[in-house]
Chains A and B, each alone.
Chain A
Amino acid sequence: MSASINKQKTGKLALIYTLLILGALCFMIPFIWMLSSSLKELPQIFVFPPQWIPKPVRWDNYARALLKMNFPLALKNTLIITVFTVTGQLLSSACVAYGFARLRFPGRELLFMLVISTMMLPSQVTMIPVFIIFKTLGWVDTLKPLIVPSFLGANTFAIFLLRQFFLTIPKELEDAARIDGCGSLRIFFQIMMPLAKPALVTVGIFAFMGSWNDFFGPLIYLNSESLRTLAIALQTFQGQFTAEWNLLMAASVVVLLPVLMIFFILQRYFVQGIVLTGLK
Chain B
Amino acid sequence: MGKKKEFSKPNKQRPGSKKEAVEGFLFISPWLIGFLIFTLGPLIASIFLSLSKWDIFADPQFVGLQNYSKMLVDPLFKKSLWNTFYYAIFSIPLGMAGGLSLALLLNQKVKGLPIFRTIFYLPSVTSGVAVALLWKWIFNPEFGIANMILNWFGLPSLQWLSSPHWAMPALIIMSLWGIGGGMLIYLAGLQGIPQQLYEAAELDGAGSWSCFINITLPMLSPTLFFQLIMGIIGSFQVFTQVYVMTQGGPANATLVYVLYLYQNAFQWWKMGYASALAWVLFAIVMVFTLIQFKLAPHWVHYDVL
Within the complex, which residue of B243, B278, B289 is in contact with A120, where a contact is CB–CB below 8 Å?
B289
CB proximity of A27 to chain B, nearest CB, Å: 5
CB distance from A10 to the nearest CB of B (A): 13
User: Number of contacting residues on A, CB 8 A?
Assistant: 97
As a 0/1 sequence over residues 102 to 136 of chain B, the CB contacts with chain A under 8 angstroms (1 = contact) are 10011010100000111111110111111101110
Contacts of A184 in B (CB 8 A): 20, 23, 27
Within 8 A of A (CB), among B126-163: 126-131, 133-135, 137-138, 140, 142-145, 147-148, 151
Q: Could you say which residues of chain B place their CB within 8 Å of the CB of A34?
A: 134, 137
**A–B complex contacts, Cβ < 8 Å, 26 sampled:** A20-B110, A23-B102, A27-B120, A30-B123, A30-B135, A46-B142, A50-B143, A50-B144, A96-B31, A114-B35, A124-B258, A126-B42, A126-B43, A128-B46, A130-B42, A132-B56, A133-B42, A181-B7, A231-B128, A234-B130, A252-B130, A259-B126, A260-B125, A263-B125, A270-B125, A274-B185
Q: Which of A96-116 contact B (CB under 8 A)?
A: 96, 98-100, 103-106, 108, 111, 114-115
In the assembled complex, the Cα of A6 lies from the Cα of B260 at a distance in Å of: 58
- Is B37 on the interface with A (CB-CB < 8 A)? yes
Interface-side segment among B82-90, B195-203, B209-217, B279-287 = B279-287
A85 proximity list for chain B (CB < 8 A): none
Bound Cα distance A184, B21 (Å) = 11
Chain B CB within 8 A of A61 CB: no
**Chain A positions within 8 Å of B151 at CB level:** 49
A111 close to B125 (CB less than 8 A): no
Question: B76 an interface residue at 8 Å Cβ cutoff?
Answer: no
Query: How close is B206's CB to chain A, nearest CB, in angstroms?
Result: 17
Question: Which residues of B sit under 8 angstroms from A29, Cβ to Cβ?
Answer: 145
Cα A151 to Cα B105 with chains together (Å): 42
Which A residues fall within an 8 A CB radius of B?
13, 16-17, 19-20, 23-24, 27-31, 33-34, 37, 45-50, 92-93, 95-96, 98-100, 103-106, 108, 111, 114-115, 118, 120-133, 135, 149, 151-154, 156, 159, 175, 178-179, 181, 183-184, 188, 209, 212-216, 219-220, 231, 234-235, 238, 245, 248-249, 251-253, 255-256, 259-260, 263, 267, 270-271, 274-275, 278-280
> Are B143 and A47 closer than 8 Å at their CB atoms?
yes
Residues of A within 8 A of B137 (CB): 33-34, 37, 245, 248-249
